[in-house]
């Protein structure tokens, strides 16, 4: 199964009580719903965490990212994931 890289256009909101990083999607379409539970990578294509949840309005949802414990998290990075 071939996976394609997709750049996520996200706006950083803040950190949740469970230490997840919360973002708001700037651009969204139904095809991007496949990123649920997928790993997320920074602009150097290093795995930094997983998409834990997608919630809120259909047009511009909120995205919860659970960072890996060994990775530093920078809110202003560009983020990528793969879609099957």
Sign of CA dihedral 58, 6, 18, 53: positive
Range of the domain at 55: 4-83
pTM of the entire predicted model: 0.85
Q: Residue 14: in which H helix or E strand, if any?
A: strand 10-15
Number of domains within the chain: 1
Structure tokens at 50: 């997983």
CATH of the domain at 15: 2.40.10.230
Structure tokens at 65: 């990212």
The string of pLDDT tens digits covering residues 38-53 is: 999 998 889 999 999 9
The string of pLDDT tens digits covering residues 52-84 is: 999 999 889 999 999 998 877 888 889 999 887
Backbone angles phi, psi at 34, to 5 degrees: -70, -10
Structure tokens at 30: 């139904």
């Amino acid at each position: 199964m071939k996976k394609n890289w997709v750049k996520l256009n996200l706006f950083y909101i803040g950190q949740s009580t469970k230490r997840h990083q919360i973002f708001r999607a700037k651009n969204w379409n139904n095809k991007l719903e496949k990123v649920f539970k997928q790993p997320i990578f920074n602009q150097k294509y290093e795995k930094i965490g997983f998409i834990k949840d997608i919630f809120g309005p259909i047009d511009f949802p909120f995205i919860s990212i659970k960072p890996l414990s060994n990775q530093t998290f920078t809110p202003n990075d560009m983020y990528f994931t793969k879609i099957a």
